[in-house]
């Protein structure tokens, strides 16, 4: 085995250019796989962060039956926020909670009208759960004030600036038309595209009153303490609500994330495609290397067999050469991949410029930063080696099966 290893290594070294070409092709494929995965992992992480920080919180509570009709933004299934907040006081591992009121509306500027999502927020509590306040250019609205925060993209389309007024046209719980006159207090430029393009935030008390809801909210959202499992917290919240006789639905951010898991799956499809391409590159490269090597070394192989080397040993020799290519490809690919990852993690790539206005269905925008996914890198490493090794078996067998007499007669 030792002498076969030495021989394999020497043979690879002898055909430097061919070896390099093959292992670099594998390396590039593996590096691409690692890079893409790094971005995807980063996108997922950012998307989940944005989802939690700007949309769903860690855990949220709706009135019974709300989620089933969530798409239509019903306002006839509401919660009394004070009652729910009182119950939550006694539940462990909750850092903060805040009510929100989501409703469909049309934003009317006097010459244009477009559909938006109205979001009633509790100006004093919202910042304890959501990071919205970090992204506000302008003033944060006050309780009871007819003021609103507008997504930056929405404001740009409608040519609205802080200080301008507009009307939110909607329907009350009873179906009556309602027109809420509001002043733009500030603009939101967040990393969550939907927040920037379709959301209007106004004080919850103003919204709830206008919709004839008497202070009710469509959800109470809470932030858990660090290290708490959202599933545990949601279970405790559910129990506490039940004890207090409040019928509600308790969801975690994971339930909402299932919406973009579909995209995660297409992401996996993309990785699968890359893996397939790597397979093809590796198989073609390795098979080519072995067959060319065998053609050049027909008499050498004949001689080895004459000297008593078994077919198995010759197969092993060629498979070692192929595996060597795989190892070189894997090492190089992973090093390139890790270097690329380091850049993507520390600098990221700016998709805002190239994909402006493109809603890819992910709650992300701006600079995408990669995330380390070491298991994937390990997988890529093994992939390169295993594929090369497996791909070499059949051509190696063919080469080793040659008749030594015929081989020796050649040349």
For 332, the token pair is 């190089």
Tell me the per-residue interface mask from 65 to 84 with another protein, x by CB under 8 A, - otherwise. Answer: ----x-xxxx----------
For another protein, the closer CB: 127 or 361: 361
**Which CA distances in Å does 192 have to 65, 80, 363?**
27, 28, 5
Q: Residue 207: enclosing H or E segment and its boundaries?
A: helix 204-210
**Binding to another protein (CB under 8 A): which residues in 377-406?**
404-405
Contact window for another protein (CB under 8 A) among 231-239, 262-270, 298-306, 340-348: 298-306
Closest among 317, 238, 311, 191 to 62, alpha carbons compared? 238
Instruction: Look up residue 411 and give its DSSP letter.
Output: -
Q: Determine which residue in the list 17, 89, 174, 295 makes contact with another protein, applying CB under 8 A.
A: 174
Residue with Cβ nearer another protein (94 or 400):
400
- 7 lies in the binding site for another protein (CB under 8 A): yes
Question: Counting contacts by CB under 8 A, is residue 258 touching another protein?
Answer: no
Tell me the closest approach of the beta carbon of residue 48 to another protein, in angstroms: 27
Residue 101 contacts another protein per CB under 8 A:
no
Q: Which of 16, 89, 175, 227 binds another protein (CB under 8 A)?
A: 175
CA distances from 246 to 221, 239, 243, 295, 353 (A): 16, 10, 8, 80, 47
Binding of residue 144 to another protein (CB under 8 A): no
Q: Decide: is 200 part of the binding site for another protein (CB under 8 A).
A: no
Restricted to residues 151-170, the positions that interact with another protein (CB under 8 A) are 167, 169-170
- C-beta of residue 173 within 8 angstroms of C-beta of residue 75: yes
Pick out residues in 202-241 that bind another protein (CB under 8 A).
210, 212
Instruction: Tell me which stretch binds another protein (CB under 8 A): 11-19, 131-139, 186-194, 226-234.
Output: 11-19
* C-beta of 69 vs 137, nearer to another protein: 69
What is the DSSP annotation of 333-371? HHHHHHHHHHHHHHT-EEHHHHTTT---SSS--SEEPP-
How far apart CA 222 and CA 236 sit, in angstroms, is: 13
Give the DSSP per-residue string, 32-101.
Answer: HHHHHHHHHHHHHHHHHHHHIIIII-SEEEEETTTGGGGGG--SSS-B-HHHHHHHHTTSTTEEEEEEEE
Provide the binding-site residues for another protein, judged by CB under 8 A: 2-3, 6-7, 10-11, 13-14, 69, 71-74, 104-106, 108, 110-113, 115, 167, 169-172, 174-181, 210, 212, 299-300, 302-310, 404-405, 408, 411
């Amino acid at each position: 085995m030792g002498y076969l290893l030495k021989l394999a290594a020497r043979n690879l070294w002898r055909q430097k250019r061919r070896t390099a070409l093959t292992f670099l092709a594998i390396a590039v494929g593996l590096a691409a796989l690692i890079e893409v995965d790094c971005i995807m992992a980063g996108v997922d992480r950012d998307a989940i962060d944005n989802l939690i920080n700007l949309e769903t919180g860690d855990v949220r509570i709706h009135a019974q039956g709300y989620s089933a009709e969530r798409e239509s933004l019903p306002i006839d299934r509401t919660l009394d926020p004070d009652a729910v907040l009182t119950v939550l006081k006694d539940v462990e591992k909750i850092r903060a909670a805040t009510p929100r009121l989501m409703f469909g509306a049309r934003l009317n500027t006097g010459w244009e009208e477009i559909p938006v999502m109205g979001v009633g927020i509790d100006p004093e509590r919202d910042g304890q759960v959501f990071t919205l306040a970090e992204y506000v250019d302008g003033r944060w609205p006050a309780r009871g004030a007819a003021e609103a925060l507008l997504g930056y993209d929405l404001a740009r389309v409608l040519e609205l600036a802080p200080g301008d007024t507009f009307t939110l046209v909607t329907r009350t719980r009873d179906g009556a038309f309602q027109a809420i006159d509001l002043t733009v207090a500030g603009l939101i430029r967040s990393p969550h595209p939907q927040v920037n393009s379709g959301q209007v935030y106004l004080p919850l008390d103003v919204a709830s009153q206008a919709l004839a809801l008497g202070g009710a909210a469509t959800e109470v959202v809470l932030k858990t303490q660090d290290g708490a499992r959202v599933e545990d917290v949601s279970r405790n919240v559910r129990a506490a609500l039940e004890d207090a006789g409040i019928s509600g639905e308790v969801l975690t951010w994971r339930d909402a994330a299932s919406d973009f898991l579909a995209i995660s799956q297409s992401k996996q499809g993309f990785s699968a495609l890359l893996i397939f391409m790597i397979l093809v590159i590796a198989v073609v490269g390795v098979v080519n290397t072995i067959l060319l090597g065998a053609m050049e070394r027909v008499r050498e192989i004949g001689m080895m067999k004459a000297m008593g080397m078994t077919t198995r040993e010759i197969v092993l020799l060629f498979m070692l050469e192929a595996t060597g290519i795989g190892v070189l490809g894997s090492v190089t690919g992973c090093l390139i991949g890790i270097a690329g990852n380091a850049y993507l993690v520390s600098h990221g790539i700016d998709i805002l410029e190239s994909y402006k206005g493109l809603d890819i269905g992910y709650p992300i925008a701006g600079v995408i930063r990669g995330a380390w996914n070491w298991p994937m890198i390990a997988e890529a490493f093994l992939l390169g080696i295993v594929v090369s090794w497996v791909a070499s078996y059949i051509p190696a067998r063919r080469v080793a099966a040659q008749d030594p007499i015929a081989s020796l007669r050649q040349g």
